[in-house]
Amino acid sequence: MSYSLNQKTLLTTLFTLTSLTITTSAAQALRLKVEVENLGPDGGVAVTPVWVGFHDGSFDSYDGGLPAERGLEQIAEDGNPMLISQDFQDNLTYVQGGVSGIFPSDQVGTRVDGMIGNSAIIPGTSAMSMFEITPDDSNRWFSYVSMVLPSSDYYIANGNPVEWDLMPLFSEAVSSLSFNVGLSGTITDAGTEINDFNTSAGNLLYPGLGSGQTEPGQGEAENGVNENVGDPYANFLNQPPNFATDFANLDFNNETLYPDGIARITITRVSVPESSTTVGLIAMGGVFLLGASLPKEFGLKPGFLRRKVFGARFKSLSQK
Ligand SMILES: [Ca+2]
Ligand SMILES: [Ca+2]
Ligand SMILES: [Ca+2]
Ligand SMILES: [Ca+2]
C-alpha cells in the first residue's frame, strides 16, 4: 500500500498525537495493587468483598455515636457496596460538622473506588485488585468498609477519613503500605439491625448456625447508632446451643485468637500504566466487580459480568 504525501503527513500527525496521549496519561496515573488477607483462625469470621475509595479527605463513612447512613447500612447488613459506591462517586459524605446525613462534599478532582474480592474472604485467604489513581491530593486518602460475617450489621471501616495517607507512596518514599484492620475493640455495630442469627448474613459459611437471612435487608430495624462491639455475639437472638464452644473462634475481640486483628490491607505501588487503554479498563474494573460481588440472592452468578464484558484479560488484571 502506498500513501500520498498528505496521507503520510496525516498518519504521522495521528501517530504523534496518539503517542502524546499515551505519554500524558502514563505520567498522570499511578497503578496500585490493594490486597486484603484474612488473618483470623480457622472457623473465624470472614469479611465481605472490601469496598475501598481514594479521595481528598472529604469522605467520612461514619462517626461512632451517630446513626449509620444508607450506603453504610447496606454494606454492613448485606455486604452490598452499591449504595456507598454511588454516594462516593457522587462526591457525597456521611458525616459533616459532627452530624450524620447525606451531605455534598468539597471533593477536588475525581474520586476512585472499587472492590477487593468477589466473594467472602475467609480466614487464610486473600484477594486483590488493581486501581488507577491520580497521585495528588484528589486521591491522597484511602478509605475501606467491609461487613464482618456472620453478623446482622457488623463492619470494619476507618471512621477517620484522613487516617491512611498515600502520600509516601506517591512520593516513592515507600513502595508499599500495610496495616491491620479489625483489631480488638474496633469492630462496629452499625446500629441498623437487631442482632439475630435468624436474620444474619454469612451463616452458610458456618454449618450449625442456621440458614440466616434469605433475602437482602432481612431483620428488625435497630434504630441505634454506630458503636464498637463488646462481647461479639453475646446479644444475638436465636443463638444455637453450644455456641460458645462450637463457634469459639468467631470471638474477634479475643486477642489470643486475633493477635493482628481480622485482616491486613497492603497497598503496593505497581508501575506506570502502559497506555491510556489500560487505564480505562482498570478504572471500569472496580465498577464491574461490584456486579460480580453481589450475593446470589441478587440473581447474579459471581463473575458473570466480568466474564461477559472483559473476558480473560480483565480477570488476569483484577483478580487472583
Ligand atoms: Ca468519622
Ligand atoms: Ca436495615
Ligand atoms: Ca446491630
Ligand atoms: Ca439481615
88-124 pLDDT per residue, tens: 999 999 999 999 999 999 999 999 999 999 999 999 9
Measured CA to CA, the distance from residue 175 to residue 160 in angstroms comes to 23
Ligand 2 geometric centre to CA of 194 (Å): 9
Give residue 28's pLDDT. 77
Residue 233 gets the label, from left (phi > 0), alpha (psi -120 to 50) or beta, of alpha
Q: Is the pLDDT of residue 290 over 70?
A: no
- Contact assessment for residue 269 and residue 305, using Cβ atoms and an 8 Å cutoff: no
Residue 12 pLDDT greater than 80, yes or no: no
Q: Is the pLDDT of residue 301 over 80?
A: no
What ligand has the least distance to the C-alpha of 236? 3
What is the average per-residue pLDDT within 62-73? 98
Ligand nearest to the CA of 190: 3
Q: Quick one: cell of 184?
A: 480488638
Q: What is the DSSP letter of 208?
A: T
- Per-residue pLDDT, averaged over 35-56, amounts to 98
Q: Give 251 Cα–ligand 1 centroid separation in angstroms.
A: 25
Rounded to the nearest whole angstrom, what is the distance from the C-alpha of residue 41 to the centroid of ligand 2?
A: 29
Q: Is pLDDT at 232 greater than 90 in this prediction?
A: yes
Distance, CA of 137 to chain centre: 20
Q: Which of 18-27, 175-184, 254-263, 296-305 has the lowest mean pLDDT?
A: 296-305
Span from the CA of 106 to the centroid of ligand 4 (angstroms): 34
Query: pLDDT category, 272, cuts 50, 70, 90?
Result: low
pLDDT for 294 = 41
| Residue 269 parent element (H or E) | strand 263-269
pLDDT in tens, 187-208: 999 999 999 999 999 999 999 9
CA–centroid distance, residue 216 to ligand 2 (Å): 9
What percent of the chain shows pLDDT beyond 90? 76
Give ion ligand 4 contacts, CB < 5 A: 199, 213, 218-219
Tell how strand 154-157 and strand 141-149 pair up: antiparallel
Cα of 66 to ligand 1 centre, how many Å? 9
Ligand nearest the Cα of residue 78 is: 4
C-alpha cell at 121: 474472604
Query: How far is C-alpha 97 from the chain's CA centre?
Result: 25
15-54 b/e with 16+ CB inside 10 Å = b? eeeeeeebeebbebbbbbbbbbbbbbbeebbbbbbbbbbb
**Structural element, H or E, at residue 5:** helix 5-28
Q: What percent of the chain has pLDDT over 70?
A: 76
**CA 95 / ligand 2 centre spacing (Å):** 19
Would you call 123 helix, strand, or coil by DSSP? coil
Does the structure show a pLDDT above 60 at 23?
Answer: no
pLDDT at 296 over 80: no
Can you give the pLDDT at residue 156?
A: 98
Spacing, Cα 194 to ligand 3 middle (Å): 5
Q: For 121-129, what is the mean pLDDT?
A: 98
- Residue 122 in contact with residue 17, Cβ under 8 Å? no
Residues with CB under 5 A from ligand 3 (ion): 152-153, 189, 195, 222
Q: How far is CA 92 from the centre of its chain?
A: 17
Looking at the predicted structure, is the pLDDT value of residue 289 above 90?
Answer: no
Domains of the chain plus CATH, in order, are 26-312 (2.60.40.2130)
Cα 225 to ligand 1 centroid, rounded to whole Å: 13
Report the b/e string of 79-103 with b at 16+ CB within 10 A: bbbbebbebbeebbbbbbeeebeeb
- pLDDT of residue 314 exceeding 80, the answer is no
* Ligand 1 center to 96 CA (angstroms): 9
Q: Which three cell numbers stand for residue 36?
A: 486484603
Q: Given pLDDT bands bounded at 50, 70 and 90, which one contains residue 278?
A: very low
How far apart are the CA of 215 and the centre of ligand 1, in A? 30
What is the pLDDT, as a whole number, of residue 273?
52
Cis omega before residue 150 (within 30°)?
Answer: yes
Report the separation in Å between the CA atom of 31 and the middle of ligand 2, taken as the mean of its atom positions.
36
Other Cβ atoms within 10 Å of 215 Cβ, number: 10
